[in-house]
Structure 1
Amino acid sequence: MQNLMTSVALALGLVARAALWLAGAGLILMTVFISAQVFMRYVLNDSLIWSEPASVILMGWFIFLGAAVGIREGYHLSFDVLLYFLPRGAKLWLFSLSDMVVGAFGIGMTWFGSQLAASAWNVKLPSLGVSGAVDFLPLVAGGCLLTVFSLERLARRAAGLPTARFGDADPEAA
């Protein structure tokens, strides 16, 4: 079981790294778009009509991809005061409960994001000329990754492997 989980962790580590690189590229591209818009508006007295909606879509991508990777690595926000006073077994049970709740949230993001994308499929964004579903695809992709990474954390914990939370392991080792 541990060998299988190690292989899965390596594969999902590559997925997480790719998601993080895409999120970083999206952040840089959004910064370029906004900078170009400011230059065009205040220096050339013209405007790029596509820069704001494209930047908002990119922001959705880097937020949801980055959040999913943060869940995998254990860097998400949490209220940890109680955990410092509990024995290890109780901590692991609460970590598992937290991962189940986050996984359920990811399923909800995927389900409802898909419904939103389907409802906006035939709507065309005028400034970009693409389907309105593009606005909701980051929600679906982030929800899928959130669910998969939460399931991975549960499976790793069940197999007795560290999950990179509270110093259990180096995040790079996963």
Structure 2
Amino acid sequence: MRALYYSLKVLGQINRATLLFCKYVTIFLVATITIVVCAGVYWRYVLNNSLAWTEETAKFLMVWMVFIGIPIALKTGGHAAIDALPNALPERGRQFLYTAIYLVILLLMAVLIYQGWGFALNARTQNTATTQISMMYVFGAMPFGGVIMFFVSLELFIKAIVGIFTPSDGVHLDEIDMAKASPE
């Protein structure tokens, strides 16, 4: 049991630092997307001379933003969820359910990392239409975000296992205060 608590502590520290990085990258990406889209609108409708690269750039930045933002939402409980079943279960049953859920997420993330890596490698010879950068950089968001989400899911999986034996130390999504859920 001490090994679980120790691994939970180490994963928690790694994930806190990683999610803080993801938070700032996501903020930067949102700001960049806003600037790129506004520039595209300004050039198209005010200057009557559209920029070819703005739509493509905004789209690819949004892909990265999503794959970097998903782990933050998972850790903070920000995903949409139906909580009728977990709330109907006793605490140990709820931790068993969370263990199963996070195990499925871990398996899906392993598939996403593996397939995403292959997808990115296969796309390395393709270039984007207007900016002419390799599609590998665009598709690289899948394995990158998948690895981060894998570690967040692993932490929550271990926390749910601990919660089976010590329910007070388990996953408690209903106690997350979204205003304070920032991974700082």
TM-score, structure 1 length as denominator?
0.89
Native 8 Å contact 2:95 2:171 kept in 1: no
- Whose helix proportion is higher, 1 or 2? 2
Distance of 1:41 and 1:172 partners within structure 2: 37
Matches within 5 A, 1:55-94: 55-94=58-97
Contact 1:156 1:162 in 2 (8 A): yes
- Residue 173 of structure 1, CA deviation: 8.7
TM-score by length of structure 2 reads: 0.85
2-structure distance, mates of 1:87, 1:42: 59
1:107-135 deviation per Cα after TM superposition (whole angstroms, max 9, x unaligned): 12211111211111011224112111122
Tell me, in whole angstroms, the C-alpha distance in 2 between the residues paired with 1:133 and 1:11.
Answer: 27
The reply to whether residue 167 of structure 1 matches residue 170 of structure 2 is: no
Q: Which runs of 4+ in 1 moved over 4 A?
A: 168-174
Matched, 1:21 2:20: no
Distance in 1 separating the partners of 2:174 and 2:57: 38
RMSD value, Cα: 2.1
Structure 1 gap ranges (5+): none
The CA deviation at 1:83 is: 1.6
Unpaired runs of at least 5, structure 2 = 164-168
Identity in percent: 21
Larger CA deviation: 78-87 vs 32-41? 78-87
Matched residue pairs, number?
Answer: 174
